[in-house]
Amino acid sequence: MLTEASLYYWLTCSMTPKPTIAVPHGDSLPDSKGPLWFLLSSILLLAVALLLLLVVSSDRIYDSHLSAFVVAVLLISLACTVFLQVRAWHLGRKGMYATELEFTSIYQHALDGILILDDEGVCLDANPAAFALLGAPTAVLVGHSFAQFYSDHREFQLEWRTFLELSYRRGSARLVRPDGSKVFVHLTATANYVPGRHVLILCDTTRCIEAQDSLRDSNERLEQMADNIQEIFWLLDASSKKVLQVNRAYETITGRSIETLSQNPTSYAEMIHTDDRVRVFAKLEEATRSGHLNEEFRIVRPDGEVRWVWIHGFPVRGPNGAIHRLAGTVQDVSTRKLADVQIAKHLADAEAARDEADAARAEAEALRKATLALTQNLRMDVVLDTLLACVFDTIPYERASVILAEADGRLFVAREHPAASRTRAVITLEASENAFLQRVLIERKSVHLSDTREESVWRETRALAGFRSWIAVPLVVGDSVLGLLSVGESRPRSFTTEHFRLAKSLAIPAAVAIHNARLYEWAQIYAAERESLIKKADSSRSSDPTERGGLLQ
C-alpha cells in the first residue's frame, strides 16, 4: 500500500523539478553529481568564453602564427562545454519525467484510497481505490465536500478545522456511502503539501471492526448466560494456578466477592476446608497434567457455614497440544449430601427392619443400588433410563414417566417406560390441566391416589391417561422444582403406603442426578463456545488492531 512518505515525495516531485537516480533507456546521472556537473560545465563555459574574448581582443593576435590554432581550440572547447550543459539539462528532465511516471503509477494502483482536498474539505482529485472504497463515482466525489460521507456534517466541519490547525491527523471513522451502507476506515491526513492542498489516505477496516463487534456481542451473551446460572464457571491458568475468569455464582456459593479474586487470583485456597485442602491441591496439580478434575470437598463461607461442592474440570490446550488452561464448573452439592444422609438413614431403617420381612430387605437393597446407579453416569438419557428401571425394581408399575419442567413453565414427558414409539411426538402438558399436578409442582407435595375415580378434581391428560392408581413425587433440588416422577397403574389400589415411601426416597437422589446431568450438558456447551471464542479472539488479534473511534482522533 502507498505509504505517507512515498505519497509526500510524489506530491513534492509533481510540483518541484529535481534530478533523479532513475533515467529511462539506460542513461544514468547520479542524483548527487548532476548539479555538480552542471556547475562545473557552467564555470568552464564562462572561462572559455572569457579566454576567447581576451584572445580576439588582443592586438597581437594577428601577429601570432598560433592565433588561428588558439581560436580553433577555444571554439571547440566552447562547443564541448555547451554540449555538456545541454546533456546535463536533458538528463535532468528525463529523470524528472521518469519519477513522475513512477509515482503516478503508484497513485493509480495503490490499494488505499487517496484524496486531495482543498481548505474547505472539497475533493479535488482521488485515485481509483478511493472511488471503490467510498462507493461514489467521479461526479459524486470530485468537486463535493467530503462531509457528505458523514452522518453529522457539523462533526466533520469541527474536526476539519482542528486538522487545519494541527496540520496532521490520524484516526478512525465510520463513513456512510451514497447507497446508505457504512464503511469503517483508518485515515491519515497531512495538510498543505502545497499551500491550500491537503492529502487524505483511507484504509478500509470494516472487516476488522465487524469481527471485533461480533466477538464483543458473543462475549456479552456468554457473560449474560454465565451470570444467570447458579453454578460457578471458572477458568484457571495451569502453571500458576491463578483464576483468570469466574462468573457471579462465585459470590452466591462461596460468600466471597469476585473482587477478592481480582486482587489475589489464588485466594480461593483460603475457602477450602483445612481437612480437604491438601487433597484438593494434589488433585489440582494432577489435573494440570491429565487435564481432568472431578472432586467433592468442603468449603467454609466467611460466616462459618460449611458447604459441600463438586468441582469438574477439563483441559484447554494450546497450539502445541500442551495444557495451558483448565476450565470447568463448581456446583453446590450440600443438598445432595444432605440427601445422602437421609438416604443413609432410610437404609439404616431398612436394615433395622430386616427381621420383619424379606421383602423389606429386598426393597432396601434395590434402593441402595438405585442410588449408586444414578450417580455413575452424567448423561441425561442414561440417568432417566436408570431411574425408571430402579423404580420398576422397587415399585412394580404398569407405566411410569419422568416429567420435566421447561423454562416457560410448561411440562414435557422426558422419558417413559415402557418406551413410546420413536415416531410419536413429545408429549407436553400444562400444570393447570390437573389440580394434582399443581399440588406436586407448586406446593411440592407428593401425591398418592388409590383410585382416581374417587377424586372429583381428577382430570386425565395424555401423559396420565388410563390411570386408576397414581403416585407423583416432585423432583426438588435446593429451591428449584425440576419436574416430577409419575408412576401409574390401570387397576385401583395397586400401590401401598410402602411403595409411596420408597418413591419419595428414590426421588431425592433422582432429582440430584437429573440436576447433575443437566449441569454436565451446560458445561459441555459452555466449554465448546469458550474454546471457539478463544480461537476467534486469536484470529482477530492477527489482523489490523485499529480501534473504533471518531474521525481524525
DSSP 316-349: EE-TTS-EEEEEEEEEE-HHHHHHHHHHHHHHHH
Q: What is the pLDDT of residue 228?
A: 65
Structural element, H or E, at residue 197: strand 197-204
Q: What proportion of the chain, given as a percentage, has pLDDT over 90?
A: 14
Distance separating alpha carbons of residues 187 and 205, to the nearest angstrom? 10
178 prior amide bond cis, ω within 30: no
C-alpha cell at 416: 417413559
| Confidence grade of residue 277 (pLDDT, cut at 50, 70, 90) | very high
Q: What is the pLDDT of residue 19?
A: 35
| Confidence grade of residue 349 (pLDDT, cut at 50, 70, 90) | confident
Amino acid letter, residue 201? I
Q: What is the pLDDT of residue 216?
A: 78
Q: What is the pLDDT of residue 542?
A: 65
Distance separating alpha carbons of residues 339 and 308, to the nearest angstrom? 12
Q: Which of 315, 172, 328 is nearest to 238 (CA)?
A: 315
State the virtual CA torsion across 234, 240, 241, 242 in degrees, nearest 10: -50
C-alpha cell at 501: 415411601
Secondary structure (3-state) at 359:
helix
Q: Do 155 and 171 form a contact (C-beta atoms < 8 A)? A: no
State the virtual CA torsion across 331, 337, 338, 344 in degrees, nearest 10: 160
All residues at 6 or more sequence positions from 439 whose CB lies less than 8 Å from its CB, including other chains: 445, 447
Q: What is the pTM of this model?
A: 0.35
- pLDDT tens profile 375-386: 666 777 887 888
Distance separating alpha carbons of residues 402 and 400, to the nearest angstrom? 7
β-strand 182-194 against 168-176: which pairing, if any? antiparallel
Q: Do 514 and 189 form a contact (C-beta atoms < 8 A)? A: no
Question: What would the mean pLDDT of 327-356 be, rounded to a whole number?
Answer: 80
With a cut of 90, say whether residue 272 has pLDDT above it. yes
Sign, CA dihedral 536-537-541-543, equals positive
Ranges 311-315, 341-345, 405-409, 503-507, most confident: 311-315
CA-based end-to-end distance of the chain: 22
At residue 331, what are phi and psi to the nearest 5 degrees?
A: -120, 140
Q: What is the pLDDT of residue 549?
A: 46
Average pLDDT, the chain: 78
Structural element, H or E, at residue 399: strand 399-405
| Confidence grade of residue 492 (pLDDT, cut at 50, 70, 90) | very high
Amino acid letter, residue 542? S
Look-up of cell digits 446460572: 229
Tally Cβ neighbours within 10 Å of residue 89: 13
Q: Do 517 and 138 form a contact (C-beta atoms < 8 A)? A: no
Query: In Å, what is the CA distance from 86 to each residue of 13, 44, 81, 83, 95?
Result: 22, 14, 9, 5, 14
Half-sphere exposure at residue 46, Cβ-oriented, CA atoms within 13 angstroms: 5
| Confidence grade of residue 278 (pLDDT, cut at 50, 70, 90) | very high
| Confidence grade of residue 27 (pLDDT, cut at 50, 70, 90) | very low
With a cut of 70, say whether residue 212 has pLDDT above it. yes
Secondary structure (3-state) at 212:
helix
